[in-house]
Structure 1
Amino acid sequence: MNEINLQVQETSGDRLDRYLAQELPDLSRSRIQQLIEQGNVQVNGKVCTTKKINVKAGDRISLEIPEAQPLELQAQEIPLDILYEDDQLLILNKPAGLVVHPAPGHADGTLVNALLAHCPNLPGIGGVQRPGIVHRLDKDTTGAIAIAKTDLAYQHLQAQLQAKTARREYLGVVYGAPKVESGIIDLPIGRHPQDRKKMAVVSLEQGGRSAITHWQILERLGNYTLIHFQLETGRTHQIRVHSAKIGHPIVGDPIYGSGRSVGVNLPGQALHAWRLKLQHPVSLDWIEVTAPPPQTFTTLLEVLRRRAAISS
């Protein structure tokens, strides 16, 4: 248990949670509110469980921060391809086949298990000793993924995604040849009404959520196309659902694809989180990382280029 003692120096009229958030920048406001609600904050020697009281000059505030509870998961030594790391965040190039979160059917061997081994002394997020998965990649989608190490970083990175200031760019190989060079797909996405394991274009009235994908052709490869995607929103399976909906599913996609073989042994869909740009939660500097595509992706491109050259 860590104890922090503060004395308010001047009359600010700030609410208790706002004052503590300013004084303790390593703790997010939501974490501070949680500590207040749990009775871990005293004002002038009395426990205070409401965040809304106003502090005034001379007030003595005592804050107890419980040790982060260990996550009930096994740390596992799994190799990680690290693109960027400091004491606040970690950016990895995720391989195909690696599930991000433990789930039914994937109790271990996940990215979270690997992170617990790589970062054994995590300070904790929301009072639990765990890495903060800010955004997810499907099991067989490769590429850049950001992980928060601290509560502050987790809240800051989530806010960037919600404000659409963080930029996520993907490379994908699709079936067919779009008639135009670029476009925007603005179609809401929700759970498939019949198959609960799938997502689908679902109207807002039926429970779908706004989903916007920007795309631009990088290379035409006969009856295939290499496309640069940029996400404006981050719905589950967004690029895969949108691509299939406009008649150009991602090559190798086992759920939304055409089922046609391209003659290249792919571990899953040919979709790669290529570039990630975000603001550092403490320094506020912009960080931009590029994740090299896996060998299977580059091999697919080489094969399709050869075929396109022969047929032209």
Structure 2
Amino acid sequence: MTETPNPTSTGWRQELTAWYWPMLGGLAMVLLLQFGVQALWQWSLPFWLVIVLYLAFAAGLSSVLGRLATEHKTEKTPVHPASAWPVSGPIRYLGRYSVLFTFLPSSLLSILNPWQLTQQLKQLAGQAKVHRRMRGHYDELDSYQNKAVYRLPFAGEWLIFNGGLTPGTSHSWDVLAQRYAYDFVVADVSFRRHRNQGTRLADYFCYDAPILAAADGVVVDIQDGINPAPLVGFAVCDFLCRHFAGNYLVIQHADGEFGVYAHLIKGSITCKLGEKVQQGQQIGRCGHTGHSTEPHLHFHLQDGISLFSSMGLPIRFQDTLVDGEQKTSPVALERGQRVEQPH
């Protein structure tokens, strides 16, 4: 029998269409062109032209594959109000879709970075592995009950910039490990996330804020030593860094529940591998490292240690203020909500 396509069962294939095939296809096309020019005219394309052609081929493939995928969709995802939030930094003068001109092209260059290329290939293999394991079981995640009791991983009021339990609010529905991830920022009443022009890290309200353990646990993975992403305020992807998640921690909070805290400031991680941490303990500081468009905290729960071959898990937070309303039972959060952990 053939499997009926649906958002849960085809997630890793959609990720292939949206990201990996354009990158690999664009690279293959420019290499073939280079070899052809060399064989026919004994001339090598200059490096700058190779990069330009690669970006053009990858963008073209992404557009074509995206249109083909859209034609086969039966439902259209409604536009979220967050699409009207202001863009951070001077890049905002290019309009709502300014990141299409900066972050996406620069992220395509990550295929030239051997560390990030390896990570992308591991993620590609991991996606397929997770899908095989989860086939027929995705719906069970709708009723998943957390084994640990979780609180928000920060103090004060923060805004959920990305995240939710549905494709329309999800951080990255097609990236299975990050399906239920959250991006947290601090924003004013008009949803601006920084003061001044936003060209300095210190301009951002959440930058350098303490990040806290969401539950008791044991540190099982650490990445540190990565510098801030370049050109803050211009949404340039750091395609030269050693890890796309920047500086991060993975904490095992329960059997089969691992919390990932990413994009932390270099040198701010306060615990060591194998160390036990307590809920509410400071473990790092909010930063702008790895593939980050602006300073923020990326946080998600997954069922294994690996960032590449784990399945993301829904997470419900205990005793949380959501848009000023006290929630007495564990609650799943959603993009656009302002959340705070009462003392």
**Structure with the larger RCO, 1 or 2 (CA within 8 Å, 6+ apart):** 2
Give 1 or 2: higher helix fraction: 2
For normalisation by structure 1, the TM-score amounts to: 0.23
Higher CA-based Rg: 1
For normalisation by structure 2, the TM-score amounts to: 0.22
Give 1 or 2: higher strand fraction: 1
